[in-house]
Chain A
Amino acid sequence: MRISTIYYCLKQGIKNIFRNKMFSLASIATMSACIFLFGIFFAVVVNFKHIVKEAQTGVAVTAFFDEGIKEDKINQIIELVKKRAEVDHVNYVSAEDAWKKFQEDYFKNAKELVKGFQNDNPLKDSANLEIYLNDISMQKDLVTFLQSIDGIRQINKSESTAETLSNFNVLIGYISAAIILILLAVSVFLIGNTVTIGISVRKEEIGIMKLIGSTDFFVRAPFIVEGIIIGLLGSIFPLFILYFIYNEAIQYIMQRFNILVKLLQFLPAEKVFSTLIPTALILGVGIGFISSFTVTRKHLKV
């Protein structure tokens, strides 16, 4: 194909947008509304997931080492545990650390009481490993693994917290998948309809093109260029608006409900938009391409 033909098709696609201003505006508005809704939902879901994840990582499994266990053995166990896929990070608390922390927590205002324990560590057998998980649903597997390790005498865990958070996570996954699917279906339907109307108006034009010897590609290319540009514009506008309101909304929530500040850990805009921007652009361009491609096909059988 000649470069001049490609250039011509691109130019015609752009010209078509201006020739059919009302249709183009309607399509861009429909696309923007869909992507905007999608964006809002996406931001809510990722933040929700983030908050649950934060809560998950706060839940630790504590493994207590055998009495009189050697330092080498402890290090060996720590390395083994760290290698597990479900482990996010670990925190080793030696007997000395445990005693120090105990003193800080309970003898802060009665330091003279500590003197009675000089050169003695009542918690000398409480060396332990706090294990934080990246996926709380794997807690059971980890516990089974820990139970099989020689050198660990006791494991403390909270099964109900793990189960609740894990179930909650699964629920969010299902709900978000369902809503995303519904939103996508609605978007494709609405945008497809708008494009169909726009192209049907130009059915006669397509017929003329075909009768004077246009190939299907030549007829279709400007419509596809048009669809892609409309899709692109229809996703860029709502992204700008979403980016602007995202920070504002978080700030507002944090000010208004400052009691929740510790509980709600919102994601920074950059993190949300690093996924949302490419997703929305692919969605916009993809829907624009697919709609114009399928709708023109109907009219090409001349």
Chain B
Amino acid sequence: MIKLENVSKEYMTGMPALNNVSLHVRKGEFVFVVGNSGSGKSTLVKLLLKELEPTEGEVIIDNVHLKRLTHRQIPKFRRNIGVVFQDFRLLKDRNVYENIAFAQRVIETPTRYIKRDVPAMLSMVGLAEKYKSFPRQLSGGEQQRVALARALVNKPKILLADEPTGNLDPKNSWEIMKLLEEINQQGTTVLVVTHNREIVNAMKKRVITMRKGVIVSDEKQGGYYDED
């Protein structure tokens, strides 16, 4: 489902953010990508979303070679990937319902389907009663659940979560992780970039550890260990 072949990314000459990284994530897998700041985790997410172009190597997602995508083809490609960020990135001037519906508007889903799907997603993330609230009226955990509902409403094949618990307390962090696990059990490939040692160690999933732009370990039921 996700394939990186000898991928490097340099923002400045001689300082690679990613250095010759190869990676293969199969369909339906749940993968943690861990590592300290500057290890290249965020660059990896940006490459998967085609926000950035690799300096070298090839990124292939669902058999699509990202290098070959034209600017016009990018939106359609991104619709197969749900994405959740640490800072939620909700549209601040739209309420919960409109934020989730927006992801469907973008792909021109008929209104009758939007009216069916959005409440279903809101129920799934436990926010059915807050559909009229604006992001500023919600807690961090609730905002992240809205972001998750938005990422999932179009039933993407892949879900990318970039530090999804970075701004949340432990209780909310666990709730978000449980939701991600549920989504994965329904068949979505999930890739979570995180710092959260406790969660990674408890969930016993595949863990890819990065350091200075290189994958230093890739364990099937791994943990998040100290760097030294």
Q: Which residues of A are at the interface with B, using a C-beta cutoff of 8 A?
A: 1-2, 4-5, 8, 19, 204-205, 207-216, 218, 301-302
Contacts and interface: CB of A to CB of B under 8 A. Distances in A.
B111 A4 contact: yes
Contacts of A215: 72, 75, 106
Contact of A211 (B78, B93, B154): B78
5 contacts: A204-B89, A205-B92, A212-B83, A213-B78, A218-B106
Contacts, number: 54
Contacts of B78: 210-213
A19 B108 contact: no
B110 A4 contact: yes
10 A-B pairs closest in CB distance: A213-B79, A213-B78, A214-B106, A215-B75, A19-B93, A213-B75, A208-B89, A212-B103, A5-B108, A2-B108
Nearest to A302: B51
Nearest to A1: B108
B1 interface: no
Nearest to B88: A208
A215 B79 CA distance: 10
A212 B85 CA distance: 12
B105 interface: yes
B131 interface: no
Contacts of B107: 213
A19 B95 CA distance: 13
A207 B93 CA distance: 15
Interface residues on B, range: 20 to 34
A302 B71 CA distance: 9
Does more than half of chain A's interface fall in helix, strand or loop, or is it mixed?
Answer: helix
Nearest to A207: B89
Interface in B132-173: 150-151, 154
A208 B75 contact: no
Contact of A213 (B89, B92, B106): B106
Nearest to B106: A214
Nearest to B79: A213
Given A211-B89, A213-B78, 18 more contacts: A4-B108, A4-B110, A205-B91, A207-B89, A208-B89, A209-B106, A210-B75, A211-B49, A212-B78, A212-B79, A212-B102, A212-B106, A213-B75, A213-B79, A215-B72, A218-B75, A218-B106, A302-B51
B76 interface: yes
B96 to A, nearest CB: 15
B107 to A, nearest CB: 6
A157 B149 CA distance: 86
A194 to B, nearest CB: 19
A19 B107 CA distance: 24
A302 B53 CA distance: 11
Interface in B6-57: 49, 51
A63 to B, nearest CB: 70
B81 to A, nearest CB: 8
B83 A211 contact: yes
Contacts of A207: 89
A204 B110 CA distance: 26
Nearest to A2: B108
B83 A5 contact: no
A211 B106 contact: no
A8 B111 CA distance: 10
A213 B78 CA distance: 5
B91 A2 contact: no
Given A19-B93, A204-B89, A208-B91, A213 B108 contact: no
Contacts of A8: 105
